[in-house]
Structure 1
Amino acid sequence: MLLQRALTSGQVAITAEVTPPRGGDPSRTLAAAEALRGWVHAVNVTDGSRAVMRMSSLAVCRLLLDRGIEPVLQLACRDRNRIALQAELLGAHALGLRNVLCLTGDPVRAGDQPDARPVNELESVRLLQLVGQLNAGRDPVDGMLPDGPTVLFPGAAADPQSASWSGLKQRTRRKHEAGARFLQTQMVMDPEALRRFVGEIAAPLDLPVLAGVFLLKSARNAAFINRVVPGAAIPQVVIDRLAAASDPAAEGIAIAADQVARYLDIAQGVHLMAVKAEERIPLILERAGLGPLASPIQEASSRTAAISSPG
């Protein structure tokens, strides 16, 4: 898998994010991912982000794989008990998915169905432990899996701008001990916070970091993100810069490109988020001084054939 090879070999790694549809037609999501072909190592598919109903991340990941685009399955604990999470992981392995980002999940109260009942039997650390069990071929109940181990590449999320430094350090260490092989951060607006996180927490654990870069489209958009996205903290100076721009959309691209260039001097890679504007991600990368990947997103046809073969 391209992402695992890049991360484990110390190369710059680029990922980006797409959102499943709020409905049964995945065509727009697939088109958004198609715009990223050749520019990123893998495409994340969100899983009920902000506690809002969307199509299954697992389903969209398989659709991407069928099109030769390497996906990252985001898997959140909020809506599933351990049995359901076990089923999702085994299903992901059977479908040929390998990258999985283990998440606790945004709280239900943040979404548009706040009276829904959350599950939260596990959280991200225990989900990582579960991935480790399955990768070792162990049955979570007793004994060993009858058909051998899974081959999943687990990652975790982190917030370098967390208000609790000691809590961030402890939780990152626990995620590493539970089996996380890489970290994707939430949106980072402070490069010094990222530098401290990488230098003092992630690097000593030998955990590669993909720094989160969010494309802001306008001052209004930035204020909305601050209001509705858990953990978001876009500085007022950035909001004022967008408000003063004659072309806020172009200014947002410039801000994101500057962040990519700066963060690549600190972290091993970046993770780009551009909700409903994924087609602008190649432009952001280009303006940050990056070109298309030397090798395009891995073609999945041979892997799909191998999965389908009875041998």
Structure 2
Amino acid sequence: MGRIEGGGPLLREALERGEFALTAEVTPPRGGDPSRTLAAAAALRGLVHAINVTDGSRAVMRMSSLAVCRLLLDAGIEPVWQVTGRDRNRIALQADLLGAQALGIRNVLCLTGDPVKAGDQPEARPVHELESVRLLQLVQSFNQGIDPVKGELPDGGTSLFAGAAADPQTGSWSGLVSRVKRKQQAGARFLQTQMVMDPEALRRFVEEVSGPLGLPVLAGVFLLKSAKNALFINRVVPGASIPQAIIDRLAGASDPAAEGIAIAAEQVAAYRDIAQGVHLMAVKAEERIPAILQLAGIQPRPVPPLPAAVG
């Protein structure tokens, strides 16, 4: 694989070297105090290469993902800024992408966004002027120094490292193949998948779709807390399909939380031989991610010292 242009050093360089890359996910607070989110991310420093910050996931109000990404950088943690086209028109997206460049945020996961009707403010008006492919195209044009109106950016191109999402277990294989090709052509340099419960579906996706396109894949691993939690995820999360066998395993466990950790660790270990990394999602239970990685045999990495306090 050739050098990948742009991006924060840890994640990009791990993908360049063909290392098993790790990302995890945190959710911004529903309020103005980011301390819990930052603490959850800090506990993962040295365990993962970068931390994703969700952008209005499930169409629910949260603090700005861009702001949280900058706070993570201040804490010495590399972020992946998730940005959706659901809530912003192209002018707002252009402004935020240029702002990310100025703030030192390099990893950008370009998403369409969950439907507004799935959230807790269904009367809100979605925008969707740019969905994920056109958002990737915008990032690519900025990296090439292109101003969408005046021809050239006055200070040269940006260095944003763009990623995209994919669902290896989607019901439409031809649609998946077509969309991933379009995302790669639009400038995607890596893929993070939705939760994957079927290793063979992941293997087929890597061998037949992402591999030929040269796109490294981080397979989505979702921490399940109980059978009730799994049923809830199947009901409310678009595209989720947790097998009945896993639900039954959680239901029959004397300690469902520990069983969920064991299931996630088994998936991390299995996907290590298939994909180039994993993306860990443990909503409101990020403190369990270290146990997942330890059980999966993933060793912590040396990390640089934290940035010095100012003032």
* Interval containing the TM-score (normalised by the shorter chain): over 0.9
Give secondary structure in 1 for the equivalent of 2:83. Answer: strand
Partner AA of 1:119 in structure 2:
V
Larger mean CA deviation between 91-100 and 224-233 belongs to 224-233
2:298 maps to 1:290: yes
Give the alignment's TM-score, normalised by structure 2: 0.95
Give secondary structure in 2 for the equivalent of 1:146. Answer: coil
Partner AA of 1:23 in structure 2:
G
Cα displacement string for residues 69-100 of structure 1 (whole angstroms, at most 9, x for unaligned residues) = 00000000000000000001000000000000
2:74 maps to 1:66: yes
2:158 maps to 1:144: no
CA offset at residue 147 of structure 1?
1.2
Alpha-carbon spacing, 1:299–1:91, altered in 2? closer, same or farther (3 Å): farther
Q: 1:237 aligns with which of 237, 240, 245?
A: 245
Q: Distance in 2 between matches of 1:78 and 1:20?
A: 17
Instruction: Give yes or no for contact 1:104–1:123 (8 Å, CA) kept in 2.
Output: yes
Q: Distance in 1 between matches of 2:16 and 2:65?
A: 25
Cα displacement string for residues 183-233 of structure 1 (whole angstroms, at most 9, x for unaligned residues) = 000000011100000000000001000000000000011111111111111
Aligned pairs, how many? Answer: 302
CA offset at residue 301 of structure 1?
4.1
Matched residue, 1:247: 255
Q: Distance in 2 between matches of 1:53 and 1:131?
A: 25
Cα displacement string for residues 100-124 of structure 1 (whole angstroms, at most 9, x for unaligned residues) = 0000000111111111100000100
Matched residue, 1:30: 38
How does 1:126-205 map onto structure 2 within 5 Å?
A: 126-205=134-213
Q: Distance in 1 between matches of 2:109 and 2:232?
A: 26
Q: Distance in 1 between matches of 2:120 and 2:237?
A: 12
Q: 1:91 aligns with which of 87, 90, 99?
A: 99
Q: 2:12 aligns with which of 4, 18, 24?
A: 4
Q: Distance in 2 between matches of 1:183 and 1:69?
A: 20
Q: Distance in 2 between matches of 1:173 and 1:98?
A: 23
Q: 2:269 aligns with which of 261, 274, 299?
A: 261
CA offset at residue 142 of structure 1?
2.3
Give secondary structure in 1 for the equivalent of 2:128. Answer: coil
Instruction: Give yes or no for contact 1:69–1:299 (8 Å, CA) kept in 2.
Output: no
Matched residue, 1:54: 62
Cα displacement string for residues 28-66 of structure 1 (whole angstroms, at most 9, x for unaligned residues) = 000100110110000000000000000000000000000
Give secondary structure in 1 for the equivalent of 2:254. Answer: coil
Give secondary structure in 1 for the equivalent of 2:108. Answer: strand
Matched residue, 2:289: 281
Partner AA of 1:11 in structure 2:
E
Matched residue, 2:4: none
Cα displacement string for residues 253-298 of structure 1 (whole angstroms, at most 9, x for unaligned residues) = 00000000001110000000001111111110111111102x32x6
Which structure's relative contact order is higher, taking Cα pairs within 8 Å and 6+ residues apart?
1
Give secondary structure in 1 for the equivalent of 2:73. Answer: helix
CA offset at residue 156 of structure 1?
0.2
Partner AA of 2:175 in structure 1:
G
Matched residue, 2:131: 123
In structure 1, list runs of 5 or more residues that go unmatched: 306-311
Give secondary structure in 1 for the equivalent of 2:158. Answer: coil
Matched residue, 1:18: 26
Instruction: Give yes or no for contact 1:51–1:111 (8 Å, CA) kept in 2.
Output: yes
Partner AA of 2:223 in structure 1:
L
Instruction: Give yes or no for contact 1:272–1:281 (8 Å, CA) kept in 2.
Output: yes
Instruction: Give yes or no for contact 1:103–1:123 (8 Å, CA) kept in 2.
Output: yes
Give secondary structure in 2 for the equivalent of 1:17. Answer: strand
Report sequence identity in percent.
77
Q: Distance in 2 between matches of 1:90 and 1:243?
A: 48
CA offset at residue 299 of structure 1?
6.0
Instruction: Give yes or no for contact 1:45–1:74 (8 Å, CA) kept in 2.
Output: yes
Cα displacement string for residues 113-136 of structure 1 (whole angstroms, at most 9, x for unaligned residues) = 111100000100000000011001
Partner AA of 1:99 in structure 2:
N
Q: Distance in 2 between matches of 1:124 and 1:182?
A: 14
Give secondary structure in 2 for the equivalent of 1:74. Answer: strand
Partner AA of 1:159 in structure 2:
D
2:265 maps to 1:219: no
Partner AA of 1:180 in structure 2:
A
Partner AA of 2:149 in structure 1:
V
Instruction: Give yes or no for contact 1:214–1:273 (8 Å, CA) kept in 2.
Output: yes
Matched residue, 1:308: none
Give the alignment's TM-score, normalised by structure 1: 0.95
Q: Distance in 1 between matches of 2:306 and 2:106?
A: 12
Matched residue, 1:206: 214
